[in-house]
Amino acid sequence: MTGRRRTAVLISGRGSNMQALVAAARAPDYPAEIALVVSNRPDAAGLGYAREQGIEAVAIDHKAFADRATFENALDTVLHKHDIDLIACAGFMRILSAAFVEKWLGRLLNIHPSLLPAYRGLDTHERALADGASEHGCTVHFMVAELDAGPIVAQARVPVLPGDDAATLAARVLIAEHEIYPQALASIASGEIAL
C-alpha cells in the first residue's frame, strides 16, 4: 500500500494499546501502517504479540547503555533503519530527552491515563480517586520536551463510580484508550491534524 505512514509503537510491557493500534491498522483504508514495535525491556510480552502478527519487533534494553543519550541514539538508529515516519508511545516507561523529542517533534505521540493537564506523571488513577474526582479519562497528545505537556489531539472521559479503586478505574480508562488512540493516530497519519 502506498501512502500509509510507517509507524513505530514504543512499549515497555504487554502493549495493549499497541494491540489496539495493530487491530485498527488492519483496515485497508487506515492511513498508518504499524511497521515496527520497540521495547526498552527484552521481556516485554508485547514483543511476542507483534512478532506473531508479522510485525518487526526489536528490544533495545535501556539497561545495556551507559546513559540516556546512547540509548536514544540506538533507538533513533533503529527507527531510521525501518524508515519510520511516526512514533506512538504506548505504555513506554522511559522519559525521552528534549533532544530526542525535538528531533521527532510533530511525529511523536503519547497516550496518558488522565484528562490532561490534570494528573501529569504517574499514579494518575490513585490521584484522581484521592481527589474525589467525579470523572477521569485519557489523553492522546503530541510529545514535547516537558512531560505530559504537549498539544492535545484527543481525549475520552470516563465516570468515576462509587466503590472504584485504582484497578477498576484503570480498567475503565484502558477501554477508552483503546478507542481513542487508533482514532488519534489516524487523524495525524492522514494529515487531518498536525502540530
Residue-level pLDDT at 2: 52
Give the count of beta carbons closer than 10 Å to the beta carbon of residue 111.
26
Residue-level pLDDT at 3: 84
Integer Cα distance of 157 and 136 in angstroms: 6
Integer Cα distance of 189 and 7 in angstroms: 9
Contacts of 187 (CB under 8 A, 6+ apart): 153, 154, 193
pTM of the model: 0.96
For the chain (195 residues), the mean pLDDT of every run of 10, in chain order, is 86 97 97 98 97 98 96 98 98 95 98 97 97 98 96 98 97 98 98 93
Catalytic center residues: 112
Residue-level pLDDT at 195: 87
